[in-house]
Structure 1
């Protein structure tokens, strides 16, 4: 089973590196993620500094979005 997981390892959407899953017996994969930039695109001419975080940059984990939010909060 481990060999199959290595063959079918999902790629991290930002780094494009394989995500190796160990110690699991079930994997649910959701495919077809795309960035959601509609709001950022609509506000492109807004005269203030804007920080894009989370799925508008690249679909990935909530932990990564929280870290990006922390970075954006510290930047203001």
Structure 2
């Protein structure tokens, strides 16, 4: 599993989410991705990730993200 943790203070979280989605589609990621975002436009970013149709799990805290990443890694 891949864990991405971003605090978007200067860069908006929705822009980061769009970049994550573009990269995942381009590379064709075959492992689960867990994303934890906090900052500007975080709700929009979470919507984008959740509705992407990709194997991306959105977490709301760092501990939740770590737990989900470990659980998903054990499943694959």
TM-score, normalised via structure 2 length: 0.39
State the structure with bigger RCO (CA 8 A, min sep 6), 1 or 2: 2
Structure holding more strand per residue: 2
TM-score, normalised via structure 1 length: 0.39
Structure holding more helix per residue: 2
